[in-house]
Amino acid sequence: MNDPDDQARCEEAAAKLFSGPVDFLLSVPQLKFLPDPLVPEIAFCGRSNVGKSSLLNALTGRKAIARASVTPGRTQELNFFDVGRPRQEGALPLFRLVDMPGYGFAKAPVKVVEKWKALVNSYLRGRPVLARTLVLVDSRHGLKQVDREMMSMLDQAAVGYRIVLTKTDKIKASELAAVTEKTAAEARQHVAAHPEIHQTSAEKGMGIARLRAAVLDDALGEGWMG
């Protein structure tokens, strides 16, 4: 979206939608417990301690809809959140956000890590309503090998994804420009990567409005404002 006025209207509408109902649905430890694939889903993945919970809270305008874990790698399940649930009882939400277990942590037992990997990979490869995955990358460190492995897996599964740099308030502007440019160059080598690199800070609110609008475009289609 190139027109600044259109972008501003889209961001305002997205903020209004996210200010409405956003509810925790369930945690899924195994694929057999997944909710029926009836509405679009947007998944959030990234290295442990990349700031997934903080970003989810910032996007939805809540303080604790997703709890930040004190111990990296503690989230072991897929956590589903309904967005825009209609007032009618039993009606479906507009779409769902999916908070995935962090990867790249070292403190969990190997068997537990393998179990989480299998859950994540199986969900990403086989979920028919998955509209987009957000791959979160700590801007202070840039892409790591585990991120590249995730990106390659998403490429192979033909699952479109956006790269979201987190904690951008923690580094200098020149460093952020450099890591963004380097990340964008790598993203161009991946067939399923969206060309835009999102710069965000959950703490300062930087880039949150633009990412909200992008999430709605991905979940509901670019004509979602009507």
In this predicted structure, what is the pLDDT of residue 148? 95
Q: Does this model's pTM top 0.85?
A: yes
In this predicted structure, what is the pLDDT of residue 75? 59
Convert the pLDDT of each residue in 31-54 to its tens digit.
999 999 999 999 999 998 899 989
**How much helix, strand and coil, in percent to the nearest 5, is found in the chain?**
40, 20, 40
In this predicted structure, what is the pLDDT of residue 186? 97
In this predicted structure, what is the pLDDT of residue 69? 47
> Per the domain annotation, does 92 fall within a domain?
yes
> Per the domain annotation, does 226 fall within a domain?
no
> Per the domain annotation, does 37 fall within a domain?
yes
Give me the residues paired with residue 98 across strands. 43, 80
Give me the residues paired with residue 43 across strands. 98, 133
Least confident span in 1-10, 26-35, 39-48: 1-10
Share of the chain above pLDDT 70, in %: 91
In this predicted structure, what is the pLDDT of residue 35? 95
> Per the domain annotation, does 57 fall within a domain?
yes
Q: How far apart are CA 165 and CA 135, in angstroms?
A: 9
> Per the domain annotation, does 225 fall within a domain?
no
In this predicted structure, what is the pLDDT of residue 225? 75
Q: How far apart are CA 153 and CA 170, in angstroms?
A: 29
> Per the domain annotation, does 207 fall within a domain?
yes
> Per the domain annotation, does 13 fall within a domain?
yes
| Cβ proximity of 50 and 144 under 8 Å | no
Convert the pLDDT of each residue in 89-131 to its tens digit.
778 999 999 999 888 765 667 787 788 888 888 999 999 999 9
Q: What is the CATH number of the domain that holds 194?
A: 3.40.50.300
In this predicted structure, what is the pLDDT of residue 116? 81
- Domain count within the chain: 1
Residue 126's domain comprises: 4-220
Convert the pLDDT of each residue in 158-217 to its tens digit.
999 999 999 999 999 999 999 999 999 999 999 999 999 999 999 999 999 999 999 999
Convert the pLDDT of each residue in 61-89 to its tens digit.
988 776 554 444 555 789 999 999 766 67
